[in-house]
Amino acid sequence: MGKMGISLYPERSTFAKDKAYLDLAYKYGFKRVFTSLLQIEKEKNQVLAEFKQVIDYANSLDMEVMVDINPRLFEQLDISYNDLSFFYELGADGLRLDLGFTGAEEAQMTRNPYRLKIEINMSGGTNYVDNIMSYSPNTDNLLGSHNFYPHRYTGLGYQHFVYCSEKFRGYNLNTMAFVNSQAATFGPWPIQDGLCTLEDHRTLAIETQVKHLLLTGLIDDITVANAYASEAELQAMAESFHALYPVLHVDVAKDITENERRCLFNHLHSYRGDASEYLLRSTMTRVYYKDETFPAHNTQDMLRGDVLIDNERYGQYKGETQIALQAMSNDGRTNVVGRIAAEELFLLQFLKPWSSFGLVENK
């Protein structure tokens, strides 16, 4: 089972605030902490003491802590890749290499005596992971995680994200990506327009980002990149992350009937396996409600994302629930009873035939 994570930046906050955030994340089942040692601007020992205090508290909550680091910091802190005792003494569970070495060093690092995890950058799109794998790393200690992008319009495109992620999936390595909190105000750098892996996620609700990453089937762990996410966001993320199936929000028609409401919201839906290019069909509601009335109304032409229920004019199809996958004309036998919420419309392409999904009213 994958894990949810939060990010902390002790240099840019206080221990009291970090501690309160860790407590909140623990309450909702978060198990990972990402923190960044990419730059040390204050006195070294003071910075490391601040980090250790946060790491020790996270460890007391049984949360694993990954420290982001780059080769320049190895020099600054006088650390060698063949002696990782520094991170062990810091209390970290592993280190993330923002920039890598040649492959041989990473493989050697996975065989460290402290069993520290080595997390490598997934976003480059090169043969970096293939190179590391050629040096026979201990794959129990090798993880992958995508980058996050504080600059608007610089996040990964979806196709590149898939290409990079599939490389790691091919080696059965654990994968992680970052999502963006809309309530958070800071990250590791002075400038940030939100922090996310996929550019398309930057302005979306956190639960929508989580649903998308899970529906790709390419990501195990998901971490909130910026601090601090709100309690409502952490709760919504946890609900989406642990859901047995994805749940899509529906903006309902003003005159939706009680029977139509029951069709949409009282059942787990199953995407019929003999899939059409025009309609996503959930057929069992026509069985459950075959004796109920479904008078014709809202029989306008249909657009992608419209939520539909066939009315009494459609004979044996009366009461069947559908979602329009493209624009279609309506001959009066289908009621348009709602619409998939605008920001979740793109998730339709990730639902697969025979999969289950739920619908919930968008409040």
> What is the predicted pLDDT for the residue at 109?
95
81 pLDDT more than 90? no
Domain parsing of the chain, residue ranges: 4-242, 248-361
Whole-structure pTM over 0.85, yes or no?
yes
Q: Which contiguous run of DSSP H or E holds residue 233?
A: helix 231-242
Separation CA 186–CA 352 (nearest Å)? 37
Q: Average pLDDT over the chain, rounded to whole?
A: 95
CB atoms within 10 A of CB 172: 8
Question: What CATH superfamily classification does 4-242 receive?
Answer: Aldolase class I (3.20.20.70)
- Quote the CATH superfamily of domain 248-361: Cyclophilin-like (2.40.100.10)
- What was the pLDDT predicted at 39? 66
Write the pLDDT tens digit of every residue in 336-353.
Answer: 999 999 999 999 999 999
Name, in order, each residue with C-beta under 8 angstroms of 325's C-beta and a sequence gap of 6 or more.
276, 277, 278, 279, 280, 304, 348
Q: What is the pLDDT of residues 25-49, one digit of tens each?
A: 999 999 999 998 866 666 777 878 8
* pLDDT tens-digit readout, 323-340: 999 999 999 999 999 999
**pLDDT (mean) for 189-208:** 96
**DSSP one-letter code for 229:** -
Nearest to 224 by CA among 216, 165, 235: 235
Q: What is the pLDDT of residues 52-66, one digit of tens each?
A: 999 999 999 999 999
Average pLDDT over residues 236-245: 98
Q: Are 200 and 158 in contact (CB under 8 A)?
A: yes
Other beta carbons less than 10 A from residue 57's beta carbon: 19
Share of the chain above pLDDT 70, in %: 99
